[in-house]
Amino acid sequence: MSKPSTKKKVAEHLEVTIESLDEEGIGLATWQGKRVLVPGTLPGERVEVAVDHEGQRQMGGRVLRRMTSAPERSRRWACPHAQDCLGCGLISMDYAAQLRFKQEKVARALDAQGTQTGARVLPILEAPNPLGYRCSAKLAIGKERGKVRIGLYRRHSHELVDIGDCPLHHPLINQIASVVREEIERQGVWVYNPARGSGLLRYLAVRVSPTRNEAMVTFITAERNYREITHLAKWLVKKVPQVVSVQQNVNASAGNVIFGNQTLKMLGHPALLDQVGELRLRISPTSFFQVNHAQAERIYALVRRWAACRPEDLALDLYCGIGGIALNLARDAATVLGIEVVEEAVRNAADNARLNNLGNCRFRAGDAAELLEDLELEIAPGAVAVVNPPRKGCEAEVLKRLAALAPRVLLYVSCNPTSLARDLEMLATLGYQTEEIQPVDMFPQTPHVECVARLVPKKTP
């Protein structure tokens, strides 16, 4: 005779009290010894939750009813898509509380490493525009029951949520997405179906220049197509004349990488002309650039001020992208060398140096660690160095080779406090002391926070 199961059965609905937020801004509660993750909730709130999934140690659910509301709950920024999209984990929180959350997130990451207690963490720089600040978007395109959807995939699922007028997007992005949706339906453009691996149109990428109120649109397709995409592009430009460039990017892969290797100009300019502060920039369809222009400008200004380049200085910019930081340093330094692995971004950076009449810039494409090894004899001690790596931070070999160059000041621009704290700890073992860290709210309504850290060589006793 089998023994009766002792496993606790999960109710379809739970009533829990939110105890805290995790690093992604998701509410955490406890039920029968398991963590319960509930997006869109705040500490202290009592909520009824529908359980969507259960694991061995935790469950995830969505709010059915809120019995109590936290004092930090925002009354200003309601979004009808928030519960489905989950792309803006803090949008239910008052903006002042968001800033406190991010300041504390940076402090927690540093404390976890334990070696940077001497660093002064400055008050976070709040964003002048907490809404409508995103100047670029990569949106999935799908079809359900004959209706076209353009939006984002729900977290941890293949369900496409049509986000309509996203409150974080620049209004021009929302307008373009609306027109593209209309025209796909009207023209009967074949939308890609990832489950079947068939169809044409996969993604819509939009970049906006807020200073010029112009946009570049890229249609990502499963195969090269001229007739349908050109027809779609012509109607888009007719309805939204602010679109000055239309591109087609071909991505035949079966994975979830958005861009493929081939990009074709369909209409208008080959790149988007933009401006951030004093700099004019040409941005190609697939190159990375910051989504928040106002805060990017403040970071560029801070890096330039903290670098304090002298007329005789060489400045090194690792992970330079299209050259935003490098070109700002070039206004003061004798020479600036930018290193970036993406060849198209390097071409953009060189083009942008010419566009701004900055002839003292050089850019090289390749692996950062390998190029730093090549530069050991070329760069004398006392240079200025800036690193702006992706979320995973710098490889240990990059930090070792960078410290071996003995820069007199090292600036680290990071979009991930955890990897920043780890790399600052390693730089401390390599002889560099972190003096100041400036958090910047680059992404309001989300849990992400940017930081700029200033390091100098440790003083010998």
Annotated binding site: 290, 319, 340, 388
d(CA 75, CA 257): 37
Determine the Cα–Cα distance for residues 441 and 128; give it in Å rounded to an integer. Answer: 10
Please report the beta strands in 311-448, taking only residues with DSSP state E, as ranges in sequence order.
Answer: 314-318, 335-340, 361-365, 384-387, 409-414, 432-440
Rounded Cα distance between 215 and 56, Å, is 47
369-374-378-384 Cα dihedral, nearest 10 degrees: -10
Q: Which of 88, 166, 320, 415 is catalytic?
A: 415
Cα separation of the two ends of the chain: 76
CA quadruple 389, 394, 395, 401: dihedral positive or negative? positive
Q: Is 283 left (phi over 0), alpha (psi -120 to 50) or beta?
A: beta
Report residue 403 as tokens.
């410290």
Query: Which tokens belong to 74?
Result: 């925002």
Count of CB atoms situated within 10 Å of the CB of 263:
17
Distance of CA 30 to the CA centre of its chain: 31
Q: Which residues, at least 6 apart from 367, have a Cβ–Cβ distance to it below 8 Å? A: 341
State the Cα torsion 57-61-67-68 to the nearest 10°.
Answer: 70
User: Does 79 participate in catalysis according to the annotation?
Assistant: no
CB 201 within 8 A of CB 193: no
- Binding-site residues from annotation for S-adenosyl-L-methionine: 290, 319, 340, 388
Phi, psi of 439 (to 5 degrees): -70, 145
Cα distances from 432 to residues 119, 265, 364, 385, 454, in angstroms, run 12, 46, 26, 12, 10
Integer Cα distance of 235 and 286 in angstroms: 23
Distance from C-alpha of 120 to C-alpha of 116, rounded to nearest angstrom? 9
Distance separating alpha carbons of residues 215 and 206, to the nearest angstrom: 7
Distance, CA of 320 to chain centre: 15
Which residues are known catalytic residues? Answer: 415
